[in-house]
Amino acid sequence: MTTRLRRAVQDREFLITAEITPPKGGNASHMLEMALWLKNRVHAANITDGSRAVVRMSSLAASAILYQHDIEPICQMACRDRNVIGLQADLMGAHALGLRNILALTGDPVKAGDHPQARAVFDLESVRLLKLIDKLNKGFDFNDKSLPDGPLELFAGAAVDVQSKSKSGLQRRFERKIEAGAQFFQSQLVTDFECLDKFMQQVASLADKPILAGIFLLKSAKNAVFLNKNVPGVQIPDHIIQRLADAAHPLEEGIKIAAEQIKLAQQLCQGVHIMAIKREDLVPKILDVAGIPPVHN
């Protein structure tokens, strides 16, 4: 089964994905309401899996709900909470439910979240998870035993931090993920587009795989300061914080900033991943301001 995302990658379209956070409880109605705003505006909705180690509905279940409503999901799969048996079970279950797009992640540390006393698993990390997905796609399990009920057909992606201070480490890990089978890459939040340009020219150019620049909707100067202080790797520059602080309507200014960043990304890479936490309904407006038309089925 060829997904909309896979077709868009093959056709070299400018890719649009947006993040959706699963509910913290059993009622998925608000998540679905937010996700419906993304219909025909993104190639896929990316469903987080215990982001920042905060407990929420499983990415697998949330992805299945969106799929039932004709919203193509990317199901994040983190190694933190599952051993190698659980990872394989969930990947097989995802395939059986019709889910094909998987973002392979190591997972945020447990101590960063709301259950710091929980035990982390980390049987695998993202590179080995990509290798496992490749094995399952070829009809073999982790132990190289054949799958009697057929292979999987998953389209695996990975994360990349294009603003990493360790350039040699960034290149080594990117190359390892390519070798392990990553078909697309979603970047962490990008604010330094010169850094993204260097990454595209010096690292990504070695592999013909799409890079989606992470674009965050900043809602206020306070929001930007919070991100700098509490989210590892985030480096929102002072001039953007000041711009938000000076704005009469900070949220509207945040929409303009996100749209400007999308336009910059269009000149450098093959897509964007929009993070509009709790305001997914504003993603269409951001795309309109950026001049991005609806996506084709």
Average pLDDT over every residue of 122-133: 98
What pLDDT, on the 0 to 100 scale, is given for residue 230?
A: 79
Confirm whether 202 is domain-assigned. yes
Question: Which CATH number do you get for residue 64?
Answer: 3.20.20.220
Q: φ and ψ at 212, to 5 degrees?
A: -105, 115
Residue 23 lies in a domain: yes
DSSP state at residue 95: H
Does residue 85 have a pLDDT over 80? yes
Q: Tell me the H-state helices in the chain.
A: 4-10, 29-36, 59-68, 84-96, 126-137, 167-180, 193-202, 221-230, 238-246, 250-266, 283-289
Provide the pLDDT for residue 231: 77
Angle at 35 between CA 32 and CA 36, to 5 degrees: 85
pLDDT at 297 over 90: no
Among 48-52, 140-144, 190-194, 204-208, the range of highest mean pLDDT:
140-144
Query: Could you give the CA distance from residue 278 to residue 293 in angstroms, rounded to a whole number?
Result: 23
3-state secondary structure of 187: strand
Task: Between 230 and 3, name the one with better pLDDT.
Answer: 3
User: Is residue 15 a contact partner of residue 9, using CB atoms and an 8 Å limit?
Assistant: yes
What pLDDT digit, counting tens, does each position of 248-267 carry?
999 999 999 999 999 999 99
Residue 43, pLDDT score: 97
Domain that holds residue 133: 4-289
Q: What are residue 73's DSSP bridge partners?
A: 45
Would you call 295 exposed, middle or buried from its count of C-beta atoms within 10 A (0-12, 13-18, 19+)?
buried
pLDDT at 182 over 80: yes
CA-to-CA distance for 152 and 59, rounded, in angstroms? 18
Tokens 């350039």 correspond to 167
The Cα–Cα gap between 273 and 276 comes to 10
Whether residue 172 lies inside any domain: the answer is yes
Q: How many domains does the chain have?
A: 1
Q: Is 295 domain-assigned?
A: no
Q: Is residue 123 part of a domain?
A: yes
Identify whether 160 is part of a domain.
Answer: yes
- Given a cut of 90, is residue 127 above it in pLDDT? yes
Is 90 contained in some domain?
yes
Q: Is 296 domain-assigned?
A: no
Question: What's the alpha-carbon Rg for the chain, to the nearest Å?
Answer: 18
The identity of residue 5, as a single letter, is L
The rounded distance, in Å, linking the Cα atoms of 232 and 137 is 33
Identify the sign of the CA torsion 106, 269, 240, 252: negative
